[in-house]
């Protein structure tokens, strides 16, 4: 997992109570943690809340981190656990977010290329595929979903995923393979139609 500059020094400063150093760590890891949690949960507003809780917990427990070189693995373990805790606490609910759709459209419009804004039909198709993918991800067992999201969607190495999941690299490979197989079974017929 990508380290921020002088990460070791920042961690030592945080352990001494330096909040500014923690802000630097937060800025370096906020987006990767948010993206991971979003894929685990499927709703942006939930992912924002859980991401915030991840960093609050990390700040409170930073002194329990024995090797600062493993900060990212430690942080993603917290993220995984917080996402799982959230899923256990919440009741099933609609994960569609009109606000997220508007935000995505605003980002596309703000781009320099006006052709980047998809036609309404393409946007609906894209949204439907995203919803199907998220639904299929949500249907995977937690261990397969975590391995797939970190290793495939987020692009971390299998070694890094193994550190987060506290298992062997071979186990991660097997979980990713199984997740791909299950997703292919669920999404293959749907994608073949489009």
Per CATH, the number for 140-194 is: 1.10.10.10
* Rounded average pLDDT over 93-121: 48
* CATH architecture designation of domain 1-93: Orthogonal Bundle (1.10)
Whole-number average pLDDT of the chain: 79
* Rounded average pLDDT over 18-39: 91
Query: Does residue 106 register a pLDDT over 60?
Result: no
Position 5 confidence tier, pLDDT thresholds 50, 70, 90: low
3-state helix, strand, coil split of the chain in percent (to 5) is 80, 0, 20
pLDDT digits (tens, 9 = 90+) for 123-169: 555 567 777 778 888 888 989 999 998 888 888 889 989 988 989 99
pLDDT at 96: 44
Contact 10, 28 (CB under 8 A): no
Q: What is the rounded distance in angstroms from the CA atom of residue 97 to the CA atom of residue 105?
A: 13
Give CA separation, 28 vs 15, 33, 84, 162, 186, in Å.
17, 10, 23, 21, 35
Q: Which residue has the higher pLDDT, 81 or 187?
A: 81
Kindly report, as residue ranges, where domains of CATH 1.10.10.10 are found in the chain.
Answer: 140-194
Query: Does residue 118 register a pLDDT over 90?
Result: no
Question: Coil, strand or helix: which one is 10?
Answer: helix
Q: What is the rounded distance in angstroms from the CA atom of residue 141 to the CA atom of residue 14?
A: 35
pLDDT digits (tens, 9 = 90+) for 45-95: 899 999 999 999 999 999 888 765 588 889 999 999 999 889 888 755 444
pTM of the predicted model, to two decimals? Answer: 0.63
Kindly report, as residue ranges, where domains of CATH 1.10.1740.10 are found in the chain.
Answer: 1-93
Query: Does residue 7 register a pLDDT over 70?
Result: yes
What is the DSSP-derived secondary structure letter of residue 68? G
Q: What is the rounded distance in angstroms from the CA atom of residue 21 to the CA atom of residue 10?
A: 5
* Rounded average pLDDT over 2-20: 81
pLDDT at 169: 93
- Of 4-13, 20-29, 71-80, least confident by mean pLDDT is 4-13
């Amino acid at each position: 997992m990508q380290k921020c500059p002088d990460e070791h020094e920042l961690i030592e400063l945080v352990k001494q109570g330096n909040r500014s150093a923690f802000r630097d760590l937060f800025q370096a890891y906020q987006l990767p943690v948010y993206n991971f949690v979003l894929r685990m949960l499927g709703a942006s507003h939930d992912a924002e809340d859980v991401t915030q809780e991840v960093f609050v917990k990390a700040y409170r427990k930073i002194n329990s981190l024995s090797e600062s070189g493993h900060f990212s693995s430690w942080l993603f373990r917290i993220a995984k656990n917080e996402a799982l805790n959230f899923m256990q606490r919440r009741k099933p609910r609609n994960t569609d977010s009109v606000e997220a759709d508007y935000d995505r459209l605003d980002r596309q419009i703000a781009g320099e290329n006006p052709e980047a804004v998809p036609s309404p039909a393409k946007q609906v198709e894209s949204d439907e595929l995203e919803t199907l993918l998220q639904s299929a991800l949500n249907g995977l067992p937690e261990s397969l979903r975590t391995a797939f999201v970190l290793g495939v969607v987020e692009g971390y190495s299998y070694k890094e995923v193994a550190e987060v999941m506290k298992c062997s690299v071979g186990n991660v490979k097997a979980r990713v393979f199984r997740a791909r197989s299950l997703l292919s079974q669920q999404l293959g017929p749907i994608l073949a139609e489009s």
